[in-house]
Structure 1
Amino acid sequence: MAETDSDTPAALPKGFRSAEQGWPELHRIPHPPYRLPLLGDVLGANRRTPVQDSVRLARRLGPVFRRKAFGKEFVFVWGSRLAADIADESRFAKHVGLGVANLRPVAGDGLFTAYNHEPNWQLAHDVLAPGFSREAMEGYHAMMLSVAGRLTDHWDRELAAGHTVDVPGDMTKLTLETIARTGFGHDFGSFERSQPHPFVAAMVGTLTYAQRLNTVPSPLAPVLMRDASRRNAAHIAYLNRTVDDLVRARRESGRGDGDLLDRMLETAHPETGERLSDENVRRQVITFLVAGHETTSGALSFALHYLSQHPEVAARARAEVDRVWGDTPAPGYDQVAKLRYVRRVLDESLRLWPTAPAFAREARQDTVLGGEHPMLRGAWALVLTPMLHRDPEVWGADAERFDPDRFDAKAVRGRAPHTFKPFGTGARACIGRQFALHEATLVLGLLLRRYDLRSDPAYRLRVTERLTLMPEGLRLALEQRPAPAPATPVTGAEEAVSAAGCPVHGIGD
């Protein structure tokens, strides 16, 4: 269900601009020590790693805390009890703020950046939701396999040359080509380039600019970011031209195969008969190209890092792939869902490093969060997902330890709702989450079957932040594996585990 009448924008009090005005008892919420006048909590802060800084503060300050920088006050929530409360759709809705609002110059009222009251969100959601049905997903599967084949061809060449592989760079190429091919019938030729496609450079530029805006005092931004603003405008212009050319070519050829672009151009709303405007089509295409590959590439990169660091986990996952897929050269759509342990590896990677590391929620009416913290209508808070996923009350004292068995069926059933949120929450959760999970599970299975992954013993995980999270400088050495044996039939017990449920089932339903 989509958000309904309470999506209308809150009638905020006159002068309502900051979290302080929306939190009548803000003084009760702890903040870092040594707050400076005007500057706020800037001592010890690193503007390049605001998420990781916030995680460190969360450990000291508790499940609800606040940070202030240059007059902007932000409230963070991560305790499982508070996160479950703020997920209540009857009292809270998505809040478009911070870096998300900074992306509106390029994405406008696309699905990710639309305000709740903007009608195009509901229209686009209803038009595009069938594009992520099981039937549609089965249609994308062959193209996912094809793009994955380009990745393994590239890795085979790197292996033959004695090179290590650039994991984040290659996962970005893979996921960009996958969403471009399946969604829009376009090929960026990423694997044939020595440098990232200009679209990727422009996309990274807009994401980086959006994040930087959060760390600069608003009155000084036009001066301090004049050059960056010019570059950002050029990046947006390039993204727009690229997408306009793509849409123009589709209209002129009239040839599509029912992909997302066809749906945007040809499908009317089933009840109202409305269609997406040309401008909104552009915004939706950019949204899918950016969001549809940026987060998935990060999830795959983190998963490959942990597999390389934990050979016993990699061996167990590989054994499952060999058992379920055998020597089948092209696993079918249904065979991907049978990789239960591989999926656990992916979920555990998303637990430790959710590539979309926060989501904001605002009060639909005056309310009290967790029975303790009054919020006026329109007040908002950021759910800090990496800390929610490390809450010791939910995940135990060893929450920092990588352990895919946290996501076996029994463990998932035993956990409270709203404790695992890599795709956001409620009606505005990621519409493409099942697409991303299928793609990532398929790719991990293919890579595990083909290669042994060897990490650099000197590498220590560093995380780069550009609204999404990504391992920095991660390179792996590869060893070719022998061809697998024929598949072993899946047992009844394994089928029972498969039927037990998806760890993220229900998010956003």
Structure 2
Amino acid sequence: MSAEKCPHAAVSSPDTGATTGVAILSGRGEPVPTPRFRLPLLGDLLSVDPAKPVQKEMRMAADLGPIFERKIVSTRLVVVSGVDLVAEVNDEAAWAKSLGAPIRKLRSVAADGLFTAYNSEPNWAKAQRILNPGFSQAALRNYHGSMLRMLEQMTGSWDAAAEEGARVDVAADTTRLALDVIGSAGFGHDFGSFARAAGDDPFVDAMSRVLAHVNRTSNDMPLLRTVLGRKADAQHRADIALMHRVVDDVIAQRRQDPDVEHRDLLDLMLHSTDPETGELLDPVNVRNQVVTFLIAGNETTAGTLAFALYFLARHPEVAAAARAEIDGVVPGDGPIAFEQVGKLRYLRRVVDETLRLWPAAPGYFRKVRHDTTLGGRYRMPKGSWVFVLLPQLHRDPVWGPDPDRFDPDRFLPEAVRARPAHAYRPFGTGPRSCIGRQFALHEAVLALAVLLRRYELEPDPGYELDVREAITLKPQGFELRLRRRG
């Protein structure tokens, strides 16, 4: 089956009584498990959950095992989450990146940007070669000051909330922070998110609606969408137009002072040539790459920080251990230096464990290059594709008897060495894995260090984790009351 014709269809069976059916992909091979209640013609439509498809698939994997097939009408998708199977589909000799429906739908926003380009399109490789220097250690050192300045804006807002005894909406504020950081560090543009009134950030609002629309329409019936979704589709087009206008303005501002060296990602996009072809990125692709980074650099880091703060607030012993490390590495009350971030090893383990339980990007798609078998049992004809379900992979039995428990010591060096390498893949795999992972990790550790050093975190004791899905994952409705540390 073709990766260009099959959407993600990330849906799951009812929560109770799931049993195994059978599905033969092609030719000879062992049946792939399927959910119960498959209907003629409609397939597994009864189990569709457009709002939370990933969490439904996690429950399905717990029932059906590390591989199963989904079918919505004529669309089929194999979902894998077992570490041995994931190791196979991560083999670049036999498999390659594929674009599932949610990612293909994002092409209306970012076209052939790094994340949304087809493998056959040349601009993703050209952009990657041009932008690689923008994520070197020297570049990260240059971005560190911008990160600190944006964190000052956030702590100013949180100081006011602490003084008033008000709660803060954690995911909303980490989204503001991440947008301001990537805007300032990557493109020399201050979105000024914390200077705006709550809910008054047009770019963030448009981006949130775009991602939610993409997630929702990747898992519904096209006929229903045609009949009932005209208003939502019109809003979607308007939101994309707004995002493009904002990005065009950012680029236009930079072009007004072409002789000033900014030493950031936008400078590389506008002025650096591809070392292989000697070509610059064309203007349209520059916009596509900026949009890509504003979405990916914002959403993924925002979700990671929000989940990390949830776990730290719920595990005061972990927060205390992290604070002790911070106080040891950064004595006094001066700013945290670039070199000190790398010494916060326990806090980095907190981030790694957060990404294990709730990776910001919940999975990735892989397409087989030639006829093969998966697990030595399931026939995969050329062009077949699978979805790697990361939250369930990160709960594979190799993680121990209680994989849902938050435990940063899972990332002690000896524990990491004892696990299969493919058990942990929060940034994807292969040559098209996340180019900005070091940027994101530095930002996350730095932000948590600044916040833990400054505040005691008091969660609402009645809050139960509610994970919102809109391509990426974030805790929804999670608020903190803050108390300044002495």
**Same fold (TM > 0.5):** yes
| Map of 2:279 onto structure 1 | 274
Deviations 1:223-269 (A, max 9, x none): 33211111111111111111111111111122341211111010111
Q: State the partner residue of 2:354.
A: 349
Structure 1 residues 38-117: aligned runs within 5 Å: 38-117=41-120
Q: Which position in structure 1 is the counterpart of 2:267? A: 262
Against the structure 1 CA distance between its residues 69 and 276, is the aligned structure 2 distance closer, same or farther, given a 3 Å change threshold? same
CA drift at 1:121? 0.7
Secondary structure of the residue that 1:28 maps to in structure 2?
Answer: coil
Deviation per residue, 1:427-475 (Å, 9 max, x gap) = 1110000000000000111111111111111011010100100001000
| 1:23–1:48 Cα change, 3 Å | farther
In 1, Cα distance between the equivalents of 2:169 and 2:27? 49
TM-score, normalized by length of structure 2? 0.93
After superposition, the Cα gap between the structure-2 partners of 1:196 and 1:366, relative to the gap in structure 1 and judged at 3 Å, is farther
When structure 1 is superposed on structure 2, of 422-431 and 36-45 the one drifting more is 36-45
Q: Which moved more, 1:181-190 or 1:209-218?
A: 209-218
Structure 2 vs 1, CA of residues 234 and 298 (structure 1 numbering), >3 Å: closer, same or farther? Answer: same
Within 5 Å, give how 1:180-219 maps onto structure 2: 180-194=183-197, 195-219=199-223
Structure 1 distance, partners of 2:248, 2:173, is 26
Q: 1:23 to 1:331 in 2, by over 3 A?
A: farther
Map 1:12-411 → 2, pairs under 5 A: 23-24=26-27, 28-194=31-197, 195-254=199-258, 255-392=260-397, 394-411=398-415
Q: Quote the Cα distance in structure 1 between the aligned partners of 2:235 and 2:147.
A: 33
- 8 Å CA contact 1:361, 1:382 repeated in 2: yes
After superposition, the C-alpha distances for 1:99-134 in whole angstroms (9 at most, x for unaligned) are 000100111000000001100011000000110011
For 1:447, which of 448, 451, 473 is the aligned residue? 451
Instruction: Give the conservation status (yes or no) of the 8 Å contact 1:16–1:22.
Output: no
Q: Percent identity?
A: 50
Q: Does the 8 A contact of 2:49 with 2:219 survive in 1?
A: no
Give the match for residue 479 of structure 1. 483
User: Is the contact between residue 161 and residue 168 of structure 2 (CA under 8 Å) also seen in structure 1?
Assistant: yes
SS at match of 1:400: coil
| Alignment-derived partner of residue 500 in structure 1 | none
Task: Note the C-alpha offset of 1:208.
Answer: 1.2
Amino acid at match of 2:108: P
State the SS of the aligned residue for 2:91: coil
Gaps of 5+ in 1: 1-9, 483-509
- What is the CA distance between 1:331 and its match in structure 2? 1.3
Whether the aligned pair in 2 keeps the contact of 1:168 and 1:297 (CA below 8 Å) is yes
State the alpha-carbon separation in 2 of the partners of residues 465 and 25 from structure 1: 37
- State the match for 2:470 in structure 1: 466
Q: Structure 1 CA distance, aligned partners of 2:267 and 2:306?
A: 31
Contact 1:250–1:256 (CA under 8 A) maintained in structure 2: no
CA contact under 8 A between 2:24 and 2:30: conserved in structure 1?
A: no
Once the two structures are TM-superposed, the CA of residue 219 in structure 1 deviates from its matched residue by 4.4
User: How far off its partner does 1:222 sit?
Assistant: 2.9
Structure 2 distance, partners of 1:17, 1:301, is 32
Secondary structure, counterpart of 2:134 in structure 1: helix
Contact 2:308 2:351 in 1 (8 A): yes
Query: Secondary structure in 2 aligned to 1:231?
Result: helix
1:505 corresponds to: none
Q: Which amino acid aligns with 1:281?
A: V
Output the CA distance in 2 between the equivalents of 1:222 and 1:406: 47
After TM superposition, the structure 1 stretch with the greater mean CA deviation from structure 2, 269-278 or 307-316, is 269-278
Given that 1:185 and 1:256 are in contact with CA atoms closer than 8 Å, whether structure 2 keeps it comes out as: no
Q: Structure 2: how far apart are the matches of 1:269 and 1:298?
A: 32
AA at the equivalent of 2:231? D
Cα shift readout 1:389-424 (whole Å, capped 9, x = no counterpart):
0011x1011101111000011101111111101111
Q: Distance in 2 between matches of 1:187 and 1:430?
A: 24
Supply the distance in 2 between the matched residues of 1:70 and 1:211 (Cα, whole angstroms).
Answer: 18
The one-letter amino acid of 1:61's match is L
- Cα distance change, pair 240–406 in 1 and its aligned pair in 2 (3 A): same
Matched positions, count:
470
Q: Do the aligned residues in 2 keep the contact of 1:299 with 1:349 (CA within 8 Å)? A: yes
**C-alpha distance in 1 between matches for 2:274 and 2:67:** 41
When residues 253 and 313 of structure 1 are mapped into structure 2, their CA distance, relative to the original with a 3 A threshold, is same
Q: Is the 8 A contact 2:7 2:218 kept in 1?
A: no
- Using the TM superposition, give the Cα deviation of residue 138 of structure 1 relative to its aligned residue in structure 2, in angstroms: 0.5
RMSD value, Cα: 1.8
Matched position secondary structure for 2:302: helix
Contact 1:22 1:378 in 2 (8 A): no
Q: Deviations over 1:276-332 (max 9, x none)?
A: 111100000000001111011000000000000011111011100001111151111
1:42 Cα offset (Å): 3.1
Paired letter, 1:368: T
265-274 vs 211-220, greater mean Cα deviation: 211-220
1:419 partner letter: A
Counterpart of 1:496 in structure 2 is: none
